[in-house]
Structure 1
Amino acid sequence: MTEAVPSLVCLQGVTKVFASGVTALSDLDLDVRPGELLSLLGPSGCGKSTALRIIAGLAHPTSGSVAWPGAAAQDHRGEIGFVFQEPTLMPWANVADNVWLPLRLRGVSRRDAAGSIAAALALVGLEGFAAAYPRELSGGMKMRVSIARALSLKPRLLLMDEPFAALDEITRFRLNDDLLRLQGELGCTVVFVTHSIYESAYLSNRIAIMSPRPGRIVAEIEGTARNERGTDFRTSARYAELCRRISRQLEAPIAGASS
């Protein structure tokens, strides 16, 4: 019998109440498995971004626990990359210096970081843009820089908070494919927040569906393996059926909350 692989990170009974009195999460349980691309899907305001920030250590639960099996308490923070909804680039710095930022915060000199910066830009297809400034880039290119900045840390876990939501559909499809390629090359685990049924169905090994606020996990759906998502997957019957399954599971808690 094959021994189960321990979770990379595990949230147990996590509740988050803000100072305003708003309860964002209530008794949320979530296991993140090594090497998967897990999507968190749910309506606006259900606490998806809050859950991501708690995993990253940028926010702390009011109650419940966040465990990193097999990792010392201080070790995991250095293994996390975070891509926010907006690229959040420094407009006065060129692309290379924007990618350098997290390395600089760790005390790595610009000279010593040069190889990591170049490698990260190559991963996202921006080798020729190191000297460009954010104002010279398209929205999709800015997001690629943001991803490269997170990848410069060589993260074990990549957290992505609706990174493609503001992009046009063509650019979004292209970056979805790039993300799958990057995950395959790097072997990292990805937790991906999205509002899109179609995006979650295309990207994910597993989809965790959240209830309206206060958020908790109400259903999980197994997606597809990365090697099963070829160029025709978006038009396949299998993809359409997966989207229908996700849609039905998503509608149930929303209907319950509004009844």
Structure 2
Amino acid sequence: MSAASLVSLRGVAKRYATGTLAVRGIDLDIAPGDFVALLGPSGCGKSTLLRMVAGLAEPTGGRIAWPGGQPSARDIGFVFQEPTLMPWATAQANVALPLELAGMPRAEAASRAASMLARVGLQGFEKAYPRALSGGMKMRVSLARALVTKPRLLLMDEPFAALDEITRFRLNNDLLELWTAERFTVVFVTHSVFESVYLAQRIVVMAPRPGRIHAELAVDAPAPRGEEFRTSADYAAHCREVSQALAAAMAPAAA
């Protein structure tokens, strides 16, 4: 375990009450400011691992340690696969909710929420209800809600998977811009090789049955990244390398 890590996982395993072993033997260090992608096929335990780091599920083996001190609820932001917004509340009210639950005065929470909505490109939509927003806009609200408490760690569980390609590219770019400016730590779950290479500094490739780490690869392209990187030979080479590691992880011999 590294004292410089934000969070360290050692021998982490999760077996459900049904007897299913979801993940086993996970050793992973996440440093402050890291952008780490967890890449693997459906059912390999990526989301289970993310939920254990968030404290939403308990490991049944191993341990998760926080060398710098146990985080508070405000230190961790979580963006789920679905936006999970309150349909009866405006975008601003949805984003302000974590601050109000933490005891912040309503006016201050509303101001902070409006500012964060502007940061994710939704200035002017503060009073809009979820039913009036597109899928991409709802996900921006969800991202704003996760970031409004200024968390040390942002956990993202395939947040853009259901969006069209153009919207997904835009949100990838906006996320990288926010991360470059604020340098919070990100753990991003995806099953897309292309998305993982575009976003992450480190890609953790997971093998299924049960979930475990097969390989870890670095993407050394500098930030900020943009279309120049996405269309470069360097990007294509990284995608080939990651694709080969994923194929090896899914091969019968790796099971």
Is the contact made by 1:68 and 1:76 (CA closer than 8 Å) also made in structure 2?
A: no
Structure 2 counterpart of 1:54? 52
RMSD: 1.5
Structure 1 counterpart of 2:105? 109
- Among 146, 157, 162, the alignment partner of 1:161 is 157
What fraction of aligned residue pairs are identical, expressed as a percent? 61
Q: Which deviates more, 249-258 or 160-169?
A: 249-258
Q: Provide closer, same or farther for how the CA distance between residues 132 and 53 of structure 1 changes in structure 2, counting only shifts above 3 A.
A: same
Aligned partners of 1:141 and 1:226: how far apart in 2?
Answer: 28
Is the contact made by 1:36 and 1:189 (CA closer than 8 Å) also made in structure 2?
A: yes
Aligned partners of 1:92 and 1:118: how far apart in 2?
Answer: 18
Structure 2 counterpart of 1:29? 27
Structure 1 counterpart of 2:228? 232
Q: Provide closer, same or farther for how the CA distance between residues 228 and 245 of structure 1 changes in structure 2, counting only shifts above 3 A.
A: farther
What secondary structure does 2:223 align onto?
A: helix
Aligned partners of 2:50 and 2:221: how far apart in 1?
Answer: 23
Structure 1 counterpart of 2:252? 256
TM-score by length of 1: 0.94
Listed one character per residue, the Cα deviations across residues 5-25 of structure 1 (whole Å, up to 9, x for unaligned) are: 711101100010011111101
Whether 1:80 and 2:76 are equivalent positions in the alignment is: yes
Structure 2 counterpart of 1:203? 199
Aligned partners of 2:140 and 2:221: how far apart in 1?
Answer: 24
Structure 2 counterpart of 1:178? 174
Count of residue pairs the alignment pairs up: 254
Structure 1 counterpart of 2:92? 96
Whether 1:42 and 2:40 are equivalent positions in the alignment is: yes
Aligned-pair CA distance for 1:102: 1.2
What secondary structure does 1:181 align onto?
A: helix
What secondary structure does 2:124 align onto?
A: helix
Aligned partners of 1:207 and 1:30: how far apart in 2?
Answer: 12
Letter paired with 1:50 = T
What secondary structure does 2:116 align onto?
A: helix
Aligned partners of 1:76 and 1:211: how far apart in 2?
Answer: 31
Is the contact made by 1:47 and 1:215 (CA closer than 8 Å) also made in structure 2?
A: yes
Is the contact made by 2:173 and 2:226 (CA closer than 8 Å) also made in structure 1?
A: no
**Mapping of 1:124-139 within 5 angstroms?**
124-139=120-135
Aligned-pair CA distance for 1:33: 1.5
Is the contact made by 2:180 and 2:223 (CA closer than 8 Å) also made in structure 1?
A: no
Letter paired with 1:254 = M
Aligned-pair CA distance for 1:118: 1.6
Aligned-pair CA distance for 1:241: 0.4
Structure 2 counterpart of 1:63? 61
Structure 2 counterpart of 1:17? 15
Unaligned runs of 5+ in 2: none
Unaligned runs of 5+ in 1: none
What secondary structure does 2:121 align onto?
A: coil
Is the contact made by 2:6 and 2:31 (CA closer than 8 Å) also made in structure 1?
A: yes
What secondary structure does 2:235 align onto?
A: helix
Structure 1 counterpart of 2:215? 219
